[in-house]
Structure 1
Amino acid sequence: MIERIIEGRRRDLGGFEVSRILPHAQKRMVGPFIFLDQMGPAEFAAGSDAINVRPHPHIGLSTLTYLFEGEIMHRDSLGYTQPIRPGEVNWMTAGSGIVHSERTDPLKKSQGGPMHGMQAWVALPVEKEEIAPSFTHLGEEAQPSDQSNGVFTRLVAGEAFGERAGTPVESPLYYLHYELPTGGRFAPPPGPGQAGGYAERSIYVAAGSVEIDHQRYHTGQMVVFAAHADPVITALEPSTVMSLGGEPVGERLIWWNFVSSSQERMDQAKADWKAGRMTLPVDDTLEFIPLPE
């Protein structure tokens, strides 16, 4: 039933810790998902730097930011300035190239507070890697949700169980948020060959612990299911679980913030950023993250 267990690896991003789940040496992608971080949970002191990610570039992917707690201010080279709050979605398609920053608003910095969320990168299909960049902010009303038997479910992106989220996805995928009480249960979308099924499926335990086929899985673990498995996930305590998967888009190169099917295109992106040929966010032009050496 289980293809692989992936342990999140803690990473310090300049005073803020994340758990890095994808890419992993033994499982680089799940469907089109090529990157998955859990941000926090953390509690920032009043006056601390909190989230302070300077302008940086992307190509060949869409980023999806989703929060459980806190707030992040997004600014990009298309001119968008947009705070994201719990239950909302920031969906940014880099395509041929975009630059953005992610920071805590100065007022929020002065107050301090919690931060907890997920950031995913979705690789674009080869034929859409160079589409024009775009940005979409979605409120909770754009994401179908349900509350039954004590289990809260929200479809954050893609399609599942006959519902479709408002995210402008470019390939078949699903991304679900579950809040489970002790004993709460759910099953992921079906596998390949079934109606509404997907070739690759997984869950990530963001908080708490769950049982699958008599085995316990805890906070910080991703469970990747075998193609034709029919699992049921049961919470052993109050738990937050993300369920994600989709259809593969083929192998991808990933280096720093760039994703591409072409090494030549990757090298061009590096050169463009190093030479200053990519536009900085309109309201955030005083600094940027240099190309790593």
Structure 2
Amino acid sequence: MIELVIDQRRKDLGGFEVGRVLPFAKRRTVGPFIFFDHMGPVEFAPGFPRTVDVRPHPHIGLSTVTYLFDGEITHRDSVGVTQKIHPGEVNWMVAGSGITHSERFETLRAEGGKMHGIQAWCALPVEREEIDPSFHHHGVEDLPTYEGGGMWARLIAGEAFGAKAAVKTHSPMFYVHWRLQPGAQAQLPAEYPERAAYVAQGVVEVDGRQFQAGQMLVFQPGQPVLFTAVTEAMVMLLGGEPIGPRFIEWNFVSSSKERLEQAKADWKAGRMKLPDADDSEFIPLPEPAPPNPMS
């Protein structure tokens, strides 16, 4: 039933930590999901430095999906959108042929508070990799919810459990937020060929084994999966139809290595437009790592 268990790898992004889950050496994607970061949880004191903010940077060939449990982020992008996101809402940014954006923690800097959430990337299908960039914000009214038997569920994107979110997706997929009370049971159906569950909080039991926060379970196809909450728990379900092989370098995703090189050259040469409301700084293209003399 369980094909692979991936433990998050903690990374410091210059003021707060994330748990990097995807991509992983033994599993690059789950459905269209090619990147999965667990942000925080972290408690910010008022007045923390602006260096914690994510300065303008580029993307191609993907959609970014931001979902918060706690906190607030201000998004600004090169298609002219400025949008705050709050817990339970979705920011869905389609990079397509190219977009730049920043993520600022202005309200938290002023007031202090907790930051906790997930940022994921979904690779676009080959025939849609170069569509026009766009941004879509969805409040809780666009996201179907269910409650019963000690379980609360929200469909963040795609289709699952007989429901469909109002978020426009580009390939068959699902993305679900579960909250489970101790002892509650919930089942992930077998309707998609690629499925995974990420334990964001607490402890759950699957197939006679216990798993804790920071672990992603990747499941074999064809069988439903029963979860039992050992403690109060929060679980993210994700997956869909396979998207095919992709190359990923820095913030760029593509089915073509040549397209990645073009995107890198465009960013380095300043040919990608910065957000109108946030064009005073940007993240430079990382320099290639020097060769390892021991390799």
- Aligned with residue 240 of structure 1, among 206, 219, 234: 234
1:211-222 superposed matches below 5 A? 211-222=205-216
SS state of the match for residue 266, structure 1? helix
| Alpha-carbon separation, structure 2, partners of 1:189 and 1:103 | 37
| Alpha-carbon separation, structure 2, partners of 1:147 and 1:49 | 40
Residue equivalent to 2:248: 254
- 1:186 is displaced (CA, Å) by 1.1
TM-score between the two structures when normalised by the length of structure 1: 0.96
- 1:167 is displaced (CA, Å) by 1.1
- 1:184 is displaced (CA, Å) by 1.3
| Alpha-carbon separation, structure 1, partners of 2:246 and 2:226 | 31
| Alpha-carbon separation, structure 2, partners of 1:37 and 1:123 | 15
| Alpha-carbon separation, structure 2, partners of 1:258 and 1:89 | 21
Residue equivalent to 1:59: 60
SS state of the match for residue 186, structure 1? strand
- Aligned with residue 208 of structure 1, among 195, 202, 209: 202
- 1:65 is displaced (CA, Å) by 0.1
Aligned letter for 1:201?
A: R
1:122-145 C-alpha deviation (Å, 9 max, x unpaired): 000000000000100000000000
| Alpha-carbon separation, structure 2, partners of 1:177 and 1:41 | 16
Residue equivalent to 2:79: 78
Structure 1 unmatched runs, 5+: 191-196
Aligned letter for 2:137?
A: H
Aligned letter for 1:284?
A: D
Identity %: 60
| Alpha-carbon separation, structure 2, partners of 1:179 and 1:26 | 28
1:183-213 C-alpha deviation (Å, 9 max, x unpaired): 11111132xxxxxx11100100000010011
Aligned letter for 1:233?
A: F
| Alpha-carbon separation, structure 2, partners of 1:112 and 1:200 | 39
Please provide the CA RMSD for this pair: 0.9
| Alpha-carbon separation, structure 2, partners of 1:116 and 1:49 | 18
| Alpha-carbon separation, structure 2, partners of 1:189 and 1:280 | 42
SS state of the match for residue 110, structure 2? helix
Residue equivalent to 1:231: 225
**Larger displacement relative to structure 2 (91-100 or 43-52):** 43-52
SS state of the match for residue 262, structure 2? helix
The number of equivalent residue pairs is 286
- 1:150 is displaced (CA, Å) by 2.1
| Alpha-carbon separation, structure 2, partners of 1:181 and 1:151 | 6
1:230-263 C-alpha deviation (Å, 9 max, x unpaired): 2101110000100101001100000000000001
* Contact 2:30-2:240 at 8 Å conserved across structures: yes
| Alpha-carbon separation, structure 2, partners of 1:225 and 1:60 | 26
1:1-293 superposed matches below 5 A? 1-49=1-49, 51-105=52-106, 107-190=107-190, 197-293=191-287
SS state of the match for residue 283, structure 1? helix
1:154-203 C-alpha deviation (Å, 9 max, x unpaired): 0000000221111110000000000100011111132xxxxxx1110010
- 1:91 is displaced (CA, Å) by 0.1
Aligned letter for 1:90?
A: N
Runs of 4+ in 1 over 4 A off after TM superposition: none
